[in-house]
Every structure is written in structure tokens, then in C-alpha cells.
């Protein structure tokens, strides 16, 4: 019988090293996940068919053409945004998984909830601002109230007889209305509803006296003549309804603002160069005239802010809304 030639220990070691070197030489080089190298996903807390969803899809379409990779929108509504934010927090930090979020998810929720599955500052890095929108004070078309002075007078005459609705305790609509209460020294009764469509139908039917709403949410009933707009809760008139006065112009307190902004985020740890490149690409899309026109149909104004600017928004509004939450007692377990 012919036996295989046995190698001495040193010979076996030399052969192992040689084989390993040959394998390494033959293997393809390993690179970090370059951006963009595959489909990009925009995780969104907004329901499909909503104004924010439509804008996200428009951005995805334009970015996909610029990057040569598909950009899809992944709506994950519900749970006060927790579902979408948690998915984004767990996503790989390569730039291929991004999150669309608004002031509620980033600046209100931390003061509203005692426990959250994400930390806006620790788990995410701001990429860029997307757009902002102001809120309008709306009443039923049949309401006897025609301006903010009428509303304040009615609230002072009969405390708690005047009601206002919102889509959730601690929502922008709730806390914005609480600002008006505090600024006018009135007391009104808050009535939360399950969603915006139910809320504005209730206002139109006279079930509640008034509510704050954006043009994207209350606009259909405004256009149908079922809601009357008393004022815009902003420092200047809205381009979408330029004939509507500000709250101060309509007989209310000066300086009262209730607006929302939306930003794009990436998971913490995403390379700074990737964050910068995405931000520049998004801001270029927001500057396109037809994109601006599309945003205007929802009452949205482009807000192409830098990463640092968005971080400043979060800091500023976290402090502001924390004070309002404390004043209203609107905490959620």
C-alpha cells in the first residue's frame, strides 16, 4: 500500500499559510456598503394616501432618477409613530434606510410619553428638513363665530361651553389650541378624536366648536364649504389661503404660532459623507419649481434646512412643547 507522504509540523504550517494567502489573493476586495448601491427605503409614520405620503413618493421618484436606484416609501402608521421610528432605529446605518418624521415624533413625544422605544437624539441623525405647514383655526360654516375675537369672547362668557377637538391628546392640534387658551386666559373643553377625518367632520357638524387643522387635513371640507377658516396660527399669512388673516389680525393674541415641520432622518452611525450627500440631493429636489407647486397644493412650504438646522428645531420645540405638556397635564403612560 502506498501511504501519503506525511509532512513535518513546520511543513504543514508553511502549507497552511500558503493556502490562506492564495485564498485571500483570489477573494474579491471587501468594501463598505457604498451609497447608493441598492434600493433606498423611506420609512414613514404617515398613512398611505395622506399629504405627507404623497410628498414622500414624489421625493422618492425624483431621487430614484438622480441616484439610479429605486426609492420606495414604506408606510408604517400607528402607535404615535413608534412603529416607524422603531423600524428606522433598527435599520442598517448605510443611508439606504431613511425615516420621515415630524415635530410630534421628534419634539413632542419625548415630553408626552414616559417610555418610548426610541430616542430622537441618540438613535437618529438629521439629514435635512423637508417642509413645514401652518395650522388654521376652523369652525363649522354654520357657526356664529367669524373671527378669533368672537371665539375668545364666547369662551370667556361661558367657560367649558366652547369645545375644541384634536386627533390625539398631546398632538400638535391639542397643544396649539392650549396655547390659545393660555394666551387669552380662557378655559375651553378638549375633545380628542380617533383621526383627522373624524375630527373635521365633527367640527363641520357642530359637534365641537373649533379645531386646528392644516390645509392637507382640513382642506377638503374647507373647499366643500363645510368649514369656515377664522385665522392661520402663524406669524404671516399662508400662501395657500392668502385672504385668511393671522390670529393677531383676527382679534387674537400676537405671537401665537402652531405649525408643524417634517424632516428626513438616518439611523445613528450613518457615515457623515453619506448624510451630506443625501441632504444635498433632497434639497435640490425641493428646489424644483414643479415640486414646490405640488407641495403648495397641500399647503406645505419647502424647508430645505441643513442637518444642524433640524437639530436646532428639535431642541427649540422640545423645550417649547415640554412647557405646554406640563401646563396641560397631557402625559401618556
* Of residues 70, 38, 36, 41, the one with CA closest to residue 267: 41
For the stretch 304-327, pLDDT in tens is: 999 999 999 999 999 989 988 888
| Residues 111 and 251: beta-carbon distance below 8 Å | no
* Of residues 201, 205, 233, the one with CA closest to residue 217: 201
C-alpha to C-alpha distance for 176 and 170, rounded to whole angstroms: 9
Strand ranges inside 79-216, DSSP E: 97-102, 124-134, 136-140, 163-166, 189-192, 210-213
> What pLDDT does residue 248 have?
95
Cell numbers for 207, please give them: 359637534
Task: Please list the residues that pair with 136 across neighbouring strands.
Answer: 213, 232
Pick the CATH number of 136-232 from 3.40.190.10, 3.40.50.80, 3.90.550.10, 3.90.1150.10: 3.40.190.10
C-alpha to C-alpha distance for 101 and 45, rounded to whole angstroms: 7
For the chain, the domains span 40-131+260-328, 136-232
> What pLDDT does residue 80 have?
87
C-alpha to C-alpha distance for 3 and 133, rounded to whole angstroms: 83
HEC sequence for 298-325? CCCEECCCCHHHHHHHHHHHHHHHHHHH
Place of cell 361661558: 158
C-alpha to C-alpha distance for 221 and 229, rounded to whole angstroms: 10
| Residues 131 and 286: beta-carbon distance below 8 Å | yes
DSSP secondary structure code for residue 81 in this structure? G
Give, for 51, the enclosing helix (H) or strand (E).
helix 51-67
CATH 3.30.70.890 fits 40-131+260-328, yes or no: no
Cell numbers for 2, please give them: 502506498
Same CATH fold assignment for domains 40-131+260-328 and 136-232: yes
C-alpha to C-alpha distance for 210 and 46, rounded to whole angstroms: 24
DSSP secondary structure code for residue 30 in this structure? P
C-alpha to C-alpha distance for 43 and 88, rounded to whole angstroms: 7
Strand ranges inside the chain, DSSP E: 40-44, 71-75, 97-102, 124-134, 136-140, 163-166, 189-192, 210-213, 227-232, 259-267, 301-302
C-alpha to C-alpha distance for 319 and 124, rounded to whole angstroms: 19
DSSP strand pairing (210-213 vs 163-166): parallel
Question: How many residues are present in the chain?
Answer: 333
For the chain, residues with pLDDT lower than 50 are: 1-31
> What pLDDT does residue 50 have?
86
Neighbouring residues of 138: CB distance < 8 A, sequence distance ≥ 6: 200, 203, 210, 211, 212, 213, 218, 221, 222, 227, 228, 229, 230
C-alpha to C-alpha distance for 36 and 29, rounded to whole angstroms: 18
Amino acid at each position: 500500500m502506498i501511504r501519503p507522504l506525511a509532512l513535518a509540523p513546520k511543513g504543514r504550517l508553511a502549507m497552511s499559510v500558503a493556502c490562506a494567502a492564495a485564498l485571500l489573493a483570489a477573494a474579491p476586495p471587501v468594501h463598505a456598503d457604498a451609497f447608493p448601491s441598492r434600493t433606498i427605503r423611506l420609512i414613514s409614520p404617515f398613512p398611505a394616501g395622506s399629504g405627507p405620503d404623497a410628498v414622500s413618493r414624489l421625493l422618492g421618484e425624483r431621487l430614484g432618477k438622480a441616484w439610479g436606484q429605486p426609492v420606495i416609501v414604506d408606510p408604517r402608521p400607528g402607535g404615535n409613530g413608534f412603529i416607524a421610528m422603531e423600524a428606522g432605529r433598527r435599520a442598517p446605518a448605510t443611508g439606504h434606510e431613511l425615516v420621515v418624521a415630524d415635530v410630534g415624533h421628534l419634539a413632542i413625544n419625548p415630553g408626552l410619553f414616559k417610555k418610548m422605544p426610541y430616542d430622537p437624539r441618540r438613535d437618529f441623525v438629521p439629514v435635512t428638513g423637508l417642509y413645514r405647514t401652518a395650522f388654521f383655526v376652523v369652525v363649522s360654516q354654520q357657526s356664529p363665530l367669524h373671527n378669533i375675537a368672537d371665539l375668545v369672547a364666547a369662551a370667556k362668557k361661558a367657560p367649558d361651553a366652547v369645545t375644541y377637538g384634536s386627533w390625539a391628546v398631546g398632538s400638535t392640534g391639542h397643544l396649539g389650541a392650549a396655547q390659545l387658551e393660555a394666551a387669552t386666559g380662557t378655559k375651553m373643553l378638549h375633545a380628542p378624536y380617533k383621526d383627522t377625518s373624524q375630527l373635521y367632520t365633527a367640527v363641520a357638524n357642530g359637534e365641537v366648536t373649533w379645531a386646528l387643522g392644516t390645509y392637507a387635513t382640513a382642506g377638503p371640507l374647507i373647499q366643500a364649504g363645510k368649514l369656515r377658516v377664522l385665522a392661520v396660527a402663524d406669524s404671516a399669512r399662508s400662501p395657500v389661503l392668502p385672504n385668511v388673516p393671522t390670529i393677531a389680525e383676527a382679534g387674537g393674541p400676537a405671537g401665537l404660532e402652531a405649525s408643524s415641520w417634517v424632516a428626513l432622518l438616518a439611523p445613528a452611525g450613518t457615515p457623515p459623507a453619506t448624510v451630506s450627500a443625501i441632504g444635498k440631493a433632497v434639497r435640490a429636489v425641493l428646489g424644483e419649481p414643479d415640486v414646490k407647486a405640488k407641495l403648495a397644493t397641500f399647503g406645505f412650504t419647502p424647508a430645505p434646512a441643513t442637518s444642524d438646522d433640524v437639530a436646532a428645531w428639535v431642541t427649540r420645540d422640545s423645550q417649547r412643547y415640554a412647557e405646554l405638556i406640563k401646563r396641560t397635564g397631557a402625559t401618556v403612560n
